[in-house]
Amino acid sequence: MFDNVTKSIRVLSAAAVERASSGHPGMPLGMADIGVVLYKNFLKVSNKHPDWINRDRFVLSAGHGSMLLYSLLHFNGFDISLDEIKNFRQLGSKTAGHPEKDFEIGIDTTTGPLGQGFANGVGLAVAERYLASVFGEDVVDHHIYGIVSDGDLMEGISTEAAELAGLWELGKLIYFFDDNNISIDGNVTQVSVTNQKQKFISMGWDVLEIDAHKENEIIDAVESSKSVTNKPTLIISKSTIGKYAPNKENTSGVHGSPLGENEFELFLENIGFSGDPFIHDSEIYSYFDEKRVDDNSKYDEWKANLESKLQSDKKFRQLWNQFNNFETSKVELEWSSDEASRVVGGKILNEYGLSNKFIIGGSADLAASTKQVISDNTFGSNNFGGNSIEFGIREHAMGGIVNGLALHSNLIPYGSTFLVFSDYMRPSMRLASLMNVNSLFIFTHDSIYLGEDGPTHQPVEHLMSLRLIPNLDVIRPSNSKELIHSYRYALEKRNNPIAIILSRQNMKFFDNDVSYKDFQTGAYEFRPGTDITLVATGSEVELALEISTKLKDLSVQIISAPILNRLSEERLESLGLSQNIFTIELGRTIGWDTYIKNIKKSFSIDSFGESAPIDQLAEKFNFSAEKISNEIRSLLT
């Protein structure tokens, strides 16, 4: 029966790609056997409760092979109909080319950008171990399985994440490496000489080698992997890409293009299938029934145990309620001294950490500089209950792991580094935005005012560059009430990622009583005025105040815009800006006119910085209150 089921998986997958005239048939044809074994023998998933927190997770890091996943979910009774299969890659369909995530139909995560899924799976494994430590293994105890490709392992992010997984001894993580020696442009051996087995062994992984087309070898490998509890496992699975396509199997031509009419017919003949390729015997569907019935029964048992613990264990009930209903409005922090916003922000984050166990994260070897430390309880192989993570100098992996933590359930994960290094994390931030997950990215050293380190470390284009990412809220607070609001905003459940941007240099304290409601609109009136309007963000609000003192003969309105990308036309109109609008920000000019029209001049930085003390940089780039106020006067005459 196993052979008949794998045949149907291959046929349905290839047929959907052929119908769409678009897709990647090679991977589903090559990895069908592993997919069937996982769903039949191992994956603990519920088609009645697909978002069950204690389900096993399946990461399709090789997301181009999404038809394999769709076919498996269809035959396992998840909400993917035959019509949806036929609408593969079509507008409005549930079956997109790279689905990323959809818990309601059984998709935990898949990734288009290779390597990202690998890192996501490590984040999922961290979340599993952490929550098992907090709630007990009767509530959280599951595995993370995945399929990774040659391309995944060539991307640097996977090596970064793999080393951390080995270091942390994440024994619940089991990856199948689709070792078919084919990439888009030809044989992998043309571009890689890496011995993946030795590489992963050196990073603390358990490594097995199997024939990807032999059921018993696949089963034995998974059972062996599950018995190794102190190491993640890589199962090197020798496969044939495009298996059963007589002229295209084991070639790059079957990776990313439909088989084509003639080859598809030969494929059906070669695999021994006749009839409509979208119609399959009822026994194919019933093949998975016993496993799904068993898993749904396990869900019922789990749910009953959960309800019992909620009734009998007050401490557990409080934790579970906090986990599912995170309150952010209770934390307040008062201060009145001149400090960098990174320092004040770190205090706020730490204050939240004192009352909530479900904020988890850390920095890329920069905690001493970014100050974003949630607690002194560090996560590791000897302490899965730590919520402070040391990522090492691995910004790429940090971004992907943070997304994996967010994908797991209700954790609120964050990663922190210098703003200039956000370039390393951009693919992860983009995917967080695409997947609507609550990842938090905290960036410090936000301008050329980090000083002597020089232009390699001084961000210039980064603020506007991050604002270009749809669905990512970029917050640059001044050092007043805005900072408290920033963390509250970021830690609330809002189904989109947040980037908080903080200063290295001290900023003058000033009292500010902006309401949370006004803060959320993106911009508000900091000081009223009618003659000119100064719009500023972050530390430049302080500069705007200095400028206003040098323009005492004018009525100067100051607008603070902490979340510029949230500023709507309606909100902007309600602020009543003057006819003379000037913007002030230590970043690129480009983009300001997207948010605010009829700007008379943007005071910005449109070149790289210099190595120098802050006061010299202000003079060099004409960012002193004296120079800006003089130029404003000249522009008004």
Asked whether the predicted pLDDT for residue 5 surpasses 80, the reply is yes
pLDDT > 90 fraction of the chain, expressed in percent and rounded: 93
Rounded Cα distance between 35 and 130, Å, is 28
Say yes or no to pLDDT of 336 above 80: no
**Residue 120: pLDDT over 80:** yes
Tell me: the pLDDT tens digits for 22-61?
999 999 999 999 999 999 999 999 999 999 999 999 999 9
Q: Averaged over 571-587, what is the pLDDT? A: 97
Contacts with 295 (C-beta within 8 Å, 6 or more apart), sequence order: 44, 45, 46, 55
Region class of 180: left (phi > 0), else alpha (psi between -120 and 50), else beta:
alpha
- Reported as a single tens digit per residue, the pLDDT across 358-372 is 999 999 999 999 999
318 CB-near residues (< 8 Å, 6+ apart): none
The catalytic position among 395, 482, 540, 585 is 395
Q: Which amino acid is residue 435, in one-letter code?
A: M
Q: How confident is the model at residue 258 (pLDDT cuts 50, 70, 90)?
A: very high
Helix (H) or strand (E) run with residue 462 in it: helix 462-467
Mean pLDDT for 177-186 is 91
pLDDT at 329: 67
Across residues 611-633, what is the average pLDDT? 95
How far is it, in rounded angstroms, from Cα 136 to Cα 466? 39
What pLDDT does residue 18 have? 97
Three-state DSSP at 395 gives helix
d(CA 28, CA 41): 19
Span 318-340, average pLDDT: 82
Residue bearing the bigger pLDDT, 334 or 555 = 555
Predicted local confidence at residue 568, as pLDDT: 96
Q: Please tell me what DSSP assigns to residue 4.
A: H
Domains of the chain, each with CATH number or no CATH: 2-295 (3.40.50.970), 339-507 (3.40.50.970), 522-636 (3.40.50.920)
Task: Quote the pLDDT of residue 334.
Answer: 67
Rounded Cα distance, 145 and 420, in Å:
34
Active-site annotation holds for 290: no
Task: Report, as an integer, the average pLDDT of 411-429.
Answer: 98
pLDDT of amino acid 337: 80
Q: Distance between alpha carbon 101 and the CA centroid of its chain, in Å? A: 11
How far apart are the C-alpha atoms of 509 and 531, rounded to whole Å?
26
521's CB contacts (< 8 A; 6+ apart) are 566, 567, 568, 571
For residues 381 and 369, the answer to whether their CB atoms sit within 8 Å is: no
Give the span between the Cα atoms of 46 and 79, in whole angstroms: 12
Query: For residue 182, which of 25, 10, 400, 9 has the smallest C-alpha distance?
Result: 25
Residue 426 has pLDDT above 90, yes or no: yes
Cα–Cα nearest to 115, from 43, 64, 39, 186:
64
Q: Are strands 182-183 and 599-603 parallel, antiparallel or unpaired?
A: unpaired
Of the pLDDT bands very low, low, confident and very high (cuts 50, 70, 90), residue 100 is confident
Q: Cα separation of 383 and 363, whole Å?
A: 18
CA 115 – CA 346 distance, rounded (Å):
31
Question: Can you tell me the mean pLDDT for 535-555?
Answer: 97
E strands present in 372-531: 388-390, 412-418, 440-444, 473-475, 498-501, 506-507, 524-527
Q: Is the pLDDT of residue 228 over 70?
A: yes
Q: What is the pLDDT of residues 444-462, one digit of tens each?
A: 999 999 999 999 999 999 9
Residue 412 banded pLDDT, cuts 50, 70, 90: very high
Specify the pLDDT at position 545.
Answer: 97
Map 558-600 to HEC letters: EEECCCHHHCCHHHHHHCCCCCCEEEECCCCCCCHHHHCCCEE
The residue assigned the tokens 């090197």 is 236
- Given a contact cutoff of 8 angstroms between Cβ atoms, the answer to whether 166 and 231 are in contact is yes
Beta bridge partners of 413: 360
Quote the pLDDT of residue 94: 95
Query: pLDDT of 275-313, one tens digit each?
Result: 999 999 999 999 999 999 999 999 999 999 999 999 999
pLDDT, mean of residues 215-223: 98
Residue 295: its H or E element = helix 289-312
**Residue 303: both structure tokens together:** 């749910």
pTM for the predicted model, two decimal places = 0.97
Which of 104, 80, 100 shows the shortest CA–CA distance to 278?
80
Dist CA 614 CA 453 (whole Å): 11
Mean pLDDT score of the chain: 96
Q: Percent of the chain at pLDDT above 70?
A: 99
Three-state helix/strand/coil letters over 411-423:
CEEEEEEEHHHHH
- 576 pLDDT above the threshold of 70: yes
pLDDT digits (tens, 9 = 90+) for 60-78: 999 999 999 999 999 999 9
How many CA atoms within 13 Å lie on the side-chain side of 388? 15
- The pLDDT of residue 319: 95
